[in-house]
Amino acid sequence: MSVHVAPVTSSTIVVAVDVGKTSALLSVTDASRHRLFGPSEFAMNRTGLAAVTAEATASIPLSGQVKVGVEAAGHYHRPVLDHRWPPGWEVLELNPAQVAEQRRVQGRRRIKTDVIDLEAITDLVLAGYGRSVSDRDVVIGEVSAWAVHRSRRTATRTATKNQLLGQLDRAFPGLTLALPDVLGTKIGRLVAAEFTDPARLAGLGVSRLIRFAATRDLQLRRPVAERLVAVARDALPTRDAVIARRILAADMALLADLDAQIDAAETELGSLLPRSPYATLTSVPGWGVVRVSNYAAALGDPQRWPGPRQIYRASGLSPVQYESAHKRRDGGISREGSVALRRALIDLGIGLWLSEPAAKTYAHGLKDRGKHGGVVACALANRANRIAHALVRDHAVYEPTRWA
């Protein structure tokens, strides 16, 4: 997965940009590291960027081969990447970890200023680093946006459910005796939405409760209905039941809205993923749209990664090694990397563990050798990482015989 970047020559001119939230700094340097322009600060808007670009252009020789180096800074740098730079200028995105390491190489690890960052960006571009963004895939950005949106809504839904259960215990004490997982079943959702007053449920009776559920296209078995009615008749009254029901109604409306947003996000992901480089990953047993989308969102453009080792290392799952004076101590996983990527790889590994026969055999073999669950999960994440990288690289579907 090579990225085509023009080689650095003696005529190369580096336009380094250090982006902030409201302002940014720009400098122009030639291949001999002579400063031609700047550093110049400009406002992060159309007028500011256009003005500083015009000033920088005036300082660049006509024969110069211009490379624009921009350090990735969350989402703040994206408008700079998408800016309409002069024709022939190559725009490169730099990993912030590389910029920090370059500061360390310069002996300025503990010193971080915008000017020093510009120098580090310039050095990296002249050394041939950076990812070309001239052919950025918009689909990957859309998949990432929807996957992150779904993850946030899922976390909010989990927190809402936990809070809702507390109100449910106040409004309808003892309901969990009949339905241990109230919000995890359709019948439980129906009771939480319509029968938070146990007296109303007790007065309805078993037969009418079954018919009421049928009008909502829900099949309620008689033993479950009998348990619900019995619990309602024996429920203890609480002083704050009335206000708990009002708050519970608001929480149920919020929960329904969150469910709708999560379903909409999954629908969008289902339509986007087939048009992305990660389309073939859903051919792996246990890897559905959500799992693959979370991996795609965490990984980004697959062309950034030379191989699976770099991806695994970036996730923080690589073991920590320390050796000094011929003594070596190995610890646990480093956890120094992308949390989102680490979670995505582990989730892919779990999908293999649950659904793929060869992975199941591999996992059982590790457990039989006395490996605990954390080690097994990391091993399967590594296996999933290698499979995912190979399928994306080769644009191939999963073949069980290849990974047996």
Model confidence at 381: pLDDT above 70: yes
**Would you say residue 117 lies in a domain?**
yes
Once rounded to an integer, what is the mean pLDDT over residues 288-297? 94
How confident is the model over 151-178, as a mean pLDDT?
87
N- to C-terminal Cα distance for the chain? 25
pLDDT higher than 50, residue 201: yes
**pLDDT at position 68 over 90:** no
In 3-state terms the chain splits into helix, strand, coil percentages (rounded to 5) of 55, 15, 30
Q: Do 180 and 121 fall into the same domain?
A: no
Per-residue pLDDT at 92 exceeds 90: no
Residue indicated by tokens 């051919």? 283
Q: Which residues contact 46 (CB under 8 A, 6 or more apart)?
A: none
pLDDT digits (tens, 9 = 90+) for 390-399: 999 999 999 9
**Given 226, 248, 270, which residue is the final one in a domain?**
270
Burial class, 108, CB count within 10 angstroms (exposed 0-12 / middle 13-18 / buried 19+)? middle
Judge if 265 and 171 occupy the same domain.
yes
Could you tell me if 298 and 371 lie in one domain?
yes
1 is a domain residue: no
**What is the structure's pLDDT at 185?**
84
When pLDDT is cut at 50, 70 and 90, the band that residue 374 belongs to is confident
Q: Is the domain of 66 the same as that of 185?
A: no
Tell which of 136, 153, 173 closes a domain.
Answer: 136
For residue 399, is it within any domain?
Answer: no
The residue range of the domain holding 306 is 279-394
Instruction: Measure the CA–CA gap between 236 and 228, rounded to whole angstroms.
Output: 14
- Assess if residue 238 is contained within a domain: yes
Within a domain: 402: no
Residue 269's CB is within 10 A of a number of other CB atoms, namely 24
Q: Which has more confidence, 22 or 332?
A: 22
3-state class (DSSP) for residue 236: coil
Domain co-membership, 151 together with 104: no
Say which residue the tokens 């429920």 belong to. Answer: 235
- Compute CA distances 18 → 70, 90, 239, 244, 337, whole Å: 6, 16, 60, 52, 22
What would the two tokens of residue 71 be?
Answer: 């350090």
* pLDDT greater than 50 at residue 102: yes
- Check whether residue 54 and residue 117 sit in a common domain: yes
Percent of the chain exceeding pLDDT 70 equals 89
Q: What is the CATH number of the domain that holds 70?
A: 3.30.420.40
Position 1 scores a pLDDT of 40
CA distance 99 to 111: 12
Q: How many domains would you assign to the chain?
A: 3
Establish if 206 belongs to a structural domain: yes
CATH of the domain at 226: 1.10.287
The answer to whether residues 146 and 263 belong to one domain is yes
pLDDT value at position 108?
Answer: 55
Residues 6+ apart with CB under 8 A from 220: 187, 209, 210, 213, 214
- Are both 89 and 207 inside the same structural domain? no
Alpha helices in 195-239 (DSSP H): 198-204, 206-215, 222-233
Domain boundary (100, 117, 136) is at 136
Residues 175, 86 share a domain: no
Confidence of residue 184 (pLDDT cuts 50, 70, 90): confident
Position with higher pLDDT, 320 vs 274: 274
- Given a cut of 60, whether residue 30 has pLDDT beyond it is yes
- Regarding whether 358 and 324 lie in a shared domain, the answer is yes
Q: Kindly report, residue by residue over 114-132, the tens digit of the pLDDT.
A: 678 888 888 888 888 877 7
pLDDT of amino acid 104: 73
Is-above-0.85 flag for pTM? no
Write out pLDDT tens, residues 351-369: 999 998 988 888 899 888 8
Domain-located, residue 401: no
pLDDT over 60 (residue 111): no
The verdict on 92 and 148 lying in the same domain is no
Q: Are residues 220 and 299 in the same domain?
A: no
Band (pLDDT 50/70/90 cuts) for residue 336 is low
Answer whether residue 69 is part of any domain: yes
